[in-house]
Amino acid sequence: MIIKNGSVVFSDRVEKTDLRVSDGKIAEIGSGLKADKGEEVIDASGLHVFPGFIDMHVHLREPGFEYKEDIESGSKAAVKGGFTQVCCMPNTSPVADNKVVISYIRHRGEEVGLCKIRPIGAITKGEAGTQLADIGEMKKAGAVAVSDDGKAVKSSRLMRLAMEYASGFGIRCLCHCEDSELSDGGVVNEGYNSTLAGLKGIPRAAEDVSIARELCLAESLGVPVHICHVSTYSGVRLIRDAKRAGVKVTAETCPHYFAATDDLITGFDTNTKVNPPIREEKDRLAIVEGLKDGTIDCIVTDHAPHHKNDKNVEYNLAAFGISGLETSFGFAVTYLYKTGVLTLPELAAKMSGNPASILSLEGGAIERGGVADLTIADLDEEWTVDPEKFLSKGKNTPFSGRRLCGAVRYTIVSGQVKYPF
């Protein structure tokens, strides 16, 4: 396969050139490459070629909650969104806290054969927060990290042991930072809009206290830690200060934190309910600045699909979560690239290079001899978010009708075109 005339996004520049793909690898990079007889040619004129996007935080719901999403429907949504690899959280049923479930998820992903499915194991057995899961066995079975996402590990002693143990196996803890005693059943950001709506708020401190603990533990042990879905201005400040002090911390955020504020909740649309909650403008601006200055390393979706019945209830009873695999790139282009916050190489780093580095995955860069995981996109194509067109089973997005720029044209995984189907 030859990809011709595209603007290729390298780690340090954007250059109009051609790529030859052979045996799942990038075999040649250069202008004017000639196709061999019968060789497939993709004309990427007017398009940009990125390293395949990697989402290191998704919920694919299988096993156990296939009525919300399964690995096949989630994989279809992923490749439509330009993702060549997705890392799925362990809050399934049964919980992915052992080698059997990890192996099932990995093999099921291979069977579907669209994007690469990378399972994340639980930190504690059953995500109950009382006993460490067998991290070593899960790593051998294919787990790329460990997390109790959806809840924090309450015991500081157990979290310390988990960080130490995971580091010994060359993987890191991905930390959902929430002090449940402070969040205390809240459903939205605590502030003016929660008061106006009469909904119980979740204070920033619920996230910040937990972030501070993980940073202290990582510093004391000298091991790396990753902070999930950062949503507060004060959390960004804590992580920035820790990085300056030499703490081995990386962090992620989601489109709904850099492209929206809690003004959305006043309409009582349960699709706005997400954890951590969408916060205020000063938080949104801090997230954008954190992405710009490198405090926040990755853009993830925290793709959390739900059946319509899980959202079609009173706000207090609705499930937390937003379906995001098919809109993430459009939000990143519209709110970060088009506004001058990030250059294209910086955007590629947030959505591909940094996740690959943090989780020790293949891909993340376009280079000769590297894996041919590629995303080809039109940065100028405008489109309207329509959840009824989602390939995910989860249609739960608060952004229906939002106009975005940036559309994925091709998703190539190990040299094979997986999207369009």
Catalytic residues: 302
Strands 25-30 and 116-119 turn out to be unpaired
CA distance 364 to 30: 19
**How many CA atoms lie within 13 Å of 58's alpha carbon, on the beta-carbon side?**
36
Angle between helices 281-293 and 233-244 (to 10 degrees): 30
d(CA 374, CA 26): 10
User: How far is residue 209's CA from residue 128's CA, in Å, rounded to a whole number?
Assistant: 20
Q: How many CB atoms lie within 10 A of CB 200?
A: 15
Beta strands in 122-275 (DSSP E): 174-175, 188-189, 201-202, 225-227, 249-253
CA dihedral 294, 296, 301, 306 (to 10 degrees): -170
CA distances from 87 to 199, 315, 400 (A): 33, 29, 25
What distance in Å separates the CA atoms of residue 80 and residue 407, rounded to the nearest whole number?
9
Distance (Å, rounded) from C-alpha 212 to C-alpha 245?
Answer: 13
**Full strand arrangement of the beta sheet holding 174-175:** 174-175, 225-227, 249-253, 298-299
Residue with tokens 């009173």: 314
Nearest to 121 by CA among 140, 113, 112: 140
N-to-C CA span, the chain: 17
